[in-house]
Structure 1
Amino acid sequence: MEGEHERTIGARAAEEHHADIYGEDGAVLSSFLARIGVAIADRDTLTLKHEVDDLHQSELGDLLEALHPEQRHALVELLGADFDFSSLTEVDEAIRMEIVDSLPNAQIAQAVQELDSDDAVYILEDLEKEDQDEILSQLPFTERIRLRRSLDYPEETAGRRMQTEFVAVPPFWTIGQTIDYMRDDQNLPERFSQIFVIDPSFKLLGAIDLDQILRTKRSVKVEEVMHETRHAIPATMDQE
């Protein structure tokens, strides 16, 4: 009963929160926009964070679209690391590019590490390749490989859009280096049973199973024990 009561309270709070943002016509309320505008004008970061803290990414996206361009930039600036970059997947492409183009690549690199890979690709794919490369160069090795691999697929294909949560290492690493990497890297998927092997151009060379890693001496190179592998689903298949 207590859990049900808490869920009821939570649902009621969510409804009240939603009602505080949207009018009957589904548009963002002018009163909410006014509060946000005042907080931005006063550079009142605490109030601004309080106003947007519980917003769903789609709600924050609606807010961004309802603001004037200069207000959008100020909101992102004031929120800093607290800005939810996943909201950029909910806005019009022109607005998304307007915001992303105004941000330093270092900030984008920091933000995309917190996103699902498909959301990160959605934000990065329209950037110039030079900017993509600069951003990716600042990411951990495995995350960089995941995103570069997805971005290299043609647009509107399964490979471009699917989440690519996998672990990859170069062939010249030893088994010992691979084990140490798995222990130390905080960005690995929660569950995986296989490690992919890629070359410097991000081409998939093969894979190695975790049980094989555990049975192999630390001094052995990955390329000596990897096996060739194929994906069950063609990554260039058109999206449905």
Structure 2
Amino acid sequence: MSETEHPADAGVTEVSELDEDDRLKPEFVRAVLDAVEDGDVERARDLVEPLHPADIADLFELTGHEDRASLAHALSGLVDGDVFAEMNDYVREDLIDALEPQEVADLAAELDTDDAVAIIEDMDAADQREVLRAMEPDDRAAIEEALSYPEESAGRLMQRELIAVPEHWSVGDAIDYLRHNEDLTTDFWEIFVVDSRHKPVGTCQLSWILRTPRGIAIADVMKREQTLIPVDMDQEEVALRFQKYALISAAVTDASGRLVGMITVDDVVHIIQEEAGEDALLLSGAGDGDINEPIRDSYTARVRWLIANLGTALVAATIITMFEGTISKMVALAALMPIVAGVGGNAGTQTMAVTVRALATNQLTRSNTWRTIRREIAVAMMNGLTVAVVIGTAVGLFYANPLLGAVIATAMLGNIILAGLSGVVVPLTLERLKLDPAVASSIFVTMMTDSMGFLVFLGLASASGLVG
């Protein structure tokens, strides 16, 4: 995400265009679209020109697919690289498809490498080649190198525009270099110090340089302790390091330890938000969960999990069929079965959500696995006892049948304990098998709580002599 100030700080966005939550007002969006529809391009541009790039991106996201091309045509010149960098991925792809390769190349040239890669990486291979051929050689080489790294890695995320100086320089040498070299990036607050092999040996904040006499060696001012990011590190792990060590920026190194780029906190904030939302959506089987996602893609992502859930439901139905005779003799069992399974399912979901989050944030590791399992079982036992007493008492009084109350209480206790155990063991097992625990955990946990809930409840009812 490009480094841009908030509209409230910039002082360029009229208050009437945004509501109290800094979102574009519906009447403003409608006014812009009406102007475009009426052919009043000048009016549309006058309305949009004061907006911050992020707000212009929001305008396109709030516009229907069928109107985006005409809106982009009317706002030609205002929709620059900064706007594209702020856009939702699906909306950006929608607009990129309508542009010529040279236009995409011109947009990418305006951006930092990481933002340019975000625009180009999702294009078809043939379109990528066309765009890259239209770019300047230096820009093309940087983007081709970034595309050679795995998706969602530090190599894709990093910026190549940075300031690096040799460790033998003085502070004065660094200041002169910054003042007289017009080709340097203009947005930075930290200088990286490298040795003769271009390996990072320290960092120096601009404030330290400005407050230090020119004759002092840069090596005497710099901070030698730094967090280095391997170029192939997954972006989620990068975000965790920034969070753990409170980083503003960090050097990215290749396999030989040479400095090849940097990652800044504004990029990481975006990744933290993206990864947190991704895990929540994977748990629900909702795919990307983006309201701008094409309908067919949403259907494909969701239906496979619904089919998988159908399979687990059939397992539960098979268990019910096994006790068909027992249920027919006591209708109350049919009414109470969903309670046992439903509460157990909710308990399992709670534990599973906590476990998946702990795995994602590196709170749960091999060193504390058993302690975590024991903790979740203890919580499940306490919850189970509480719910069992409540449901057992209520059922026993309502049906005037203490034995039925005892059976459902025992089944509820057992199912909640099983739910707590499966809610932590299933994600852990998937993680040990190198599978994403957020993707498939809910399927297995639901199957366990539903099937075992029915089995324990109906099995106890048969074995206890409750049904004659």
TM-score, normalised with respect to structure 2: 0.34
The answer for the alignment partner of 1:89 in structure 2 is: 85
Matched, 1:14 2:15: no
Q: What letter corresponds to residue 74 of structure 2 in structure 1?
A: L
Distance apart, 1:12 and its partner CA: 8.7
Say which of 159, 164, 167 aligns to 1:163. Answer: 159
Instruction: Report the number of matched residues.
Output: 174
Distance 1:11 1:25 in 2: 11
The one of the two structures with greater contact order (alpha-carbon pairs below 8 A, sep at least 6) is 1
Matches within 5 A, 1:91-170: 91-165=87-161
Q: What letter corresponds to residue 59 of structure 2 in structure 1?
A: L
Provide closer, same or farther for how the CA distance between residues 31 and 49 of structure 1 changes in structure 2, counting only shifts above 3 A. same
Distance 2:8 2:75 in 1: 27
Matches within 5 A, 1:44-83: 44-83=40-79
- Greater share of helix: 2
Distance apart, 1:91 and its partner CA: 3.1
Deviations 1:48-75 (A, max 9, x none): 2222222112111211111122322112
Provide closer, same or farther for how the CA distance between residues 129 and 189 of structure 1 changes in structure 2, counting only shifts above 3 A. farther
Contact 1:121 1:147 in 2 (8 A): yes
SS at structure 2 position matched to 1:80: coil
Q: What letter corresponds to residue 90 of structure 1 in structure 2?
A: E
Matched, 1:238 2:231: no
Provide closer, same or farther for how the CA distance between residues 165 and 67 of structure 1 changes in structure 2, counting only shifts above 3 A. same
Distance apart, 1:122 and its partner CA: 0.9
Q: What letter corresponds to residue 11 of structure 2 in structure 1?
A: A
Distance 2:37 2:104 in 1: 24
Matches within 5 A, 1:148-227: 148-165=144-161, 188-190=183-185
Contact 2:13 2:50 in 1 (8 A): no
Distance 1:52 1:146 in 2: 33
Distance 2:10 2:234 in 1: 41
Q: Which protein is bigger by CA-based radius of gyration?
A: 2
SS at structure 2 position matched to 1:146: helix
Deviations 1:13-68 (A, max 9, x none): 82861x22223465421221122012211333322222222211211121111112
TM-score, normalised with respect to structure 1: 0.63
Distance 2:71 2:36 in 1: 6
Farther-moved stretch of structure 1 (83-92 vs 112-121): 83-92
Contact 2:33 2:71 in 1 (8 A): no
Distance apart, 1:89 and its partner CA: 3.2
Distance 1:64 1:42 in 2: 18
Provide closer, same or farther for how the CA distance between residues 12 and 110 of structure 1 changes in structure 2, counting only shifts above 3 A. closer
SS at structure 1 position matched to 2:134: coil
Contact 1:61 1:87 in 2 (8 A): yes
Q: What letter corresponds to residue 125 of structure 1 in structure 2?
A: E
Provide closer, same or farther for how the CA distance between residues 153 and 62 of structure 1 changes in structure 2, counting only shifts above 3 A. same
Distance apart, 1:119 and its partner CA: 1.1
Structure 2: stretches of 5+ with no match in the other structure = 1-6, 163-181, 187-196, 199-227, 240-468
Distance apart, 1:133 and its partner CA: 1.4
Distance 2:13 2:102 in 1: 37
Contact 1:40 1:71 in 2 (8 A): no
The answer for the alignment partner of 1:40 in structure 2 is: 36
Deviations 1:147-192 (A, max 9, x none): 11111111111110111237xxxxxxxxxxxxxxxxxxxx95458x
Contact 1:49 1:79 in 2 (8 A): yes
Provide closer, same or farther for how the CA distance between residues 15 and 49 of structure 1 changes in structure 2, counting only shifts above 3 A. closer
SS at structure 1 position matched to 2:230: coil
SS at structure 1 position matched to 2:92: helix
Structure 1: stretches of 5+ with no match in the other structure = 1-9, 167-186, 192-205, 208-231
Distance 1:42 1:118 in 2: 38
Provide closer, same or farther for how the CA distance between residues 62 and 138 of structure 1 changes in structure 2, counting only shifts above 3 A. same
Provide closer, same or farther for how the CA distance between residues 93 and 16 of structure 1 changes in structure 2, counting only shifts above 3 A. closer
RMSD: 3.1
Distance 1:125 1:234 in 2: 21
List structure 1 runs of 4+ shifted beyond 6 angstroms: 10-13
SS at structure 1 position matched to 2:234: coil
Provide closer, same or farther for how the CA distance between residues 35 and 159 of structure 1 changes in structure 2, counting only shifts above 3 A. same
